[in-house]
Structure 1
Amino acid sequence: MLDMLNRWYMRRFSDPHAVSLIAILLGGFLTIYFFGNLIAPLLVAIVLAYLLEWPVMRLERLGLPRTVAVLVVLLIFAGLMVMAFFGLVPTIWHQVGNFASDVPTMFNDLQHYVSSLPERYPDFVQPHQAITFMETLREKVMGLGESVVKGSLASLVSLATIAVYLILVPLLVFFLLKDKDEMLATMSGILPKNRRLTSKVGAEMNEQISNYIRGKVTEIFIIGIASYITFAVMDLRYAVLLSVLVGLSVLIPYIGAAAVTVPVAMVGLFQWGLTPDFWWLLAAYGVIQALDGNVLVPVLFSEAVNLHPVAIIVAVLVFGGLWGFWGVFFAIPLATLVKAVWGALPSSEPDDTVSE
């Protein structure tokens, strides 16, 4: 057993470049794991810098100095965000309020429906089962209400954090874009000298992450807009709120789509009941999800879709458990990173390499 482990170690880690690669990855893992909350503004800024690097490069090719290009792109991006905030947030907030006011009515309708099940289906549902179900559901709803109140109180504290983000993140994005080459040169001076494999994997992942972030933002907008048009045409309540949830659900592969199906179906059920409109809603929602998974995702993430769905779900669970939102957001690139690192590590014996 020890001999087998020793041979495996020598086969994979005999190259000093491989040892450097693992050391750098381990250092990055520990930094984010232990200090992720402290450097969260930097992580947000890095994501935005990846997103905005493409238009900055295009303006540079048109002849603008990089500093001017960065300022132009940041001003346009900030303007779009302000327009989206003031145009979208009030509507979402209004629909959230309407939904909260409709929850008691929905709960009463559900209670009447469940209470009638023993009479409709006496062979399948007993009265005590219906009573137990409603008591359990009532406890869950009350617990959810308490959580919302606590979350509202905690959000008052988080307002200071949001203010810090609004100041720090734009500054960080500006300097990350403006001084990118200088920062990369500084990092290369800090990293170990034996980093041939690190450079290889880093170049591949830099392109992957850049394409992934742009593709994911594009996917969110396309799915959100398509969902809103569908819900608005069908005159579904809370169309804006639900379409935003559907758009954001693509951040979590497979799991997000399944989770958002519940509120969409519940709103449709309480609005129309088991009528043809309800089944048309589910059919239209299913078409959107099918087009997303079979057309949009392969086009936007041609490299990432080479990962098996089981590998993607495991990556979401593992990295989400380690790093929360960021682990979920970068689950596919991180899974691709693991695959790329494993492929980059030497796979032959040292003696075999020498003999060749």
Structure 2
Amino acid sequence: MLGVIDRWYKKKFSDPDALMLLVLILFSSVVLLVWGNMLMPVIVAAVIAYLLDWLVTQAERRGIRRTLATSVVLLLFFVLSILTLVGLVPVISKQGANLVREIPAIWQQAQAWLMTLPEKYPTYVQYDVVERTMAGINERVVGIGEELISLSFTSIGNVAALLIYLILVPLMIFFMLKDKEQLLIGLSKFLPKERRLINKVGREMNVQIANYIRGKVIEIIIVGTVSVVTFLILDLRYAVLLGVLVGLSVLIPYIGAAVVTIPVAVVALFQFGVTTPFWTVMVAYGIIQALDGNLLVPILFSEAVSLHPLSIIIAVLFFGGLWGFWGVFFAIPLATLVKAVISAWSTPIESSPEPSPVTEQTQA
């Protein structure tokens, strides 16, 4: 057994470039695990700067100074973000509050329906089983309510942290965009000279992450907008709230679509009952999900590395458990990174020199 491990180690890590790649991955993982929460504003700023860099670069190529281009692009980004929040947040908050107030009525209707099951199916359903089930659910609902109340009080202390985000993150984004070349040159000084595989993985991930983030943002906007319009046309209550939930559900492949189906079906059932309008809403929702999975996703992510659905689900669960929302958002790029690293370790040693990361980023 030890001989097998020794041969595997010599085969994979006899190359100094492979060993440096392993060291960089381990070091980055330790930093994120230990100081991930502390560095989250920096990570958020880096992600937004990465998204906006393409616009700044295009403006710079047209003769606009990078400082001016950065200022204009950043101003437009924050204006659009504020307008979106001002337009959506009040509506979503109002509809969310109304939905919370109606949850007891929805649950009463569900209880009444459950109590009819023993009469309809006396052989399969017993009264005591239904009563015990409802009692357990009621206890759980009360517990969830208490947790939400306590969470609302503890979250008051996070207002200061939110203000820090609103001040520091825009400043970091500005300097990351304006001084991109200097920052990359400074970063390259900390990288080892044996970085052939690091460069290879970096080139592949530069394309993959850019395509994924831009495609995912476009997918959220399209799916959310189409869902809101469809629900409004069908006169479904809480159309904006449910449509936004459907749009955000695409962040979590497979799992998100299954989870968001529950509130859509419950609201439609409570409003229409088991009638034709209810089935119309569910069919329309199914069509939206089918078009997203079979038409929109292949178009937006045609250049992305194909991953097995099981790999995606495992990545969502693993990275989401580590870093919450951002782990879920970057689950697919991180899974692609793992695949790229494995592929790089499997390639033979190349004799041709590789360009430095600074040169590659400058040409991008």
Give the TM-score range, shorter chain. over 0.9
CA–CA distance in structure 1, aligned partners of residues 169 and 157 of structure 2: 19
Residues 44-123 of structure 1: pairs in structure 2 closer than 5 A: 44-123=44-123
Asked if the contact 2:45–2:169 (Cα under 8 Å) also holds between the matched residues in 1, the reply is yes
Equivalences, count = 350
Cα RMSD (Å)? 1.4
Q: TM-score, normalised by structure 2?
A: 0.93
Q: Which amino acid aligns with 1:149?
A: I
The equivalent residue for 1:227 is: 227
Q: Deviations over 1:246-291 (max 9, x none)?
A: 1111111111111111111111111111111111111111111111
Q: Deviations over 1:148-185 (max 9, x none)?
A: 10121122111111111000110111111111111111
Comparing 55-64 with 248-257, which one deviates more in the overlay?
55-64
**DSSP-derived class of the 1:190 partner:** coil
**DSSP-derived class of the 1:345 partner:** helix
CA–CA distance in structure 1, aligned partners of residues 264 and 133 of structure 2: 22
Asked if the contact 1:18–1:346 (Cα under 8 Å) also holds between the matched residues in 2, the reply is no
Q: Deviations over 1:5-27 (max 9, x none)?
A: 11111111110001011111111
The equivalent residue for 2:360 is: none
Structure 1 runs of 4+ with >4 Å offset: none
Asked if the contact 2:21–2:195 (Cα under 8 Å) also holds between the matched residues in 1, the reply is yes
CA–CA distance in structure 1, aligned partners of residues 240 and 305 of structure 2: 29
**DSSP-derived class of the 2:189 partner:** helix
Residues 293-312 of structure 1: pairs in structure 2 closer than 5 A: 293-304=293-304, 306-312=306-312
Q: Which amino acid aligns with 1:109?
A: Q
The equivalent residue for 2:316 is: 316
The equivalent residue for 1:130 is: 130
CA–CA distance in structure 1, aligned partners of residues 155 and 213 of structure 2: 28
The equivalent residue for 1:34 is: 34
Tell which has more relative contact order, 1 or 2 (C-alpha 8 A, sep 6+).
1
The equivalent residue for 1:184 is: 184
The equivalent residue for 1:241 is: 241
Structure 2 gaps of 5+ residues are: 352-364
CA shift for structure 1 position 346: 4.4
Structure 1 gaps of 5+ residues are: none
CA–CA distance in structure 2, aligned partners of residues 203 and 209 of structure 1: 10
Aligned-residue identity in percent: 55
CA shift for structure 1 position 322: 2.1
The equivalent residue for 1:214 is: 214
Asked if the contact 1:46–1:173 (Cα under 8 Å) also holds between the matched residues in 2, the reply is yes
CA–CA distance in structure 2, aligned partners of residues 94 and 71 of structure 1: 34
CA shift for structure 1 position 80: 0.7
Asked if the contact 1:15–1:346 (Cα under 8 Å) also holds between the matched residues in 2, the reply is no
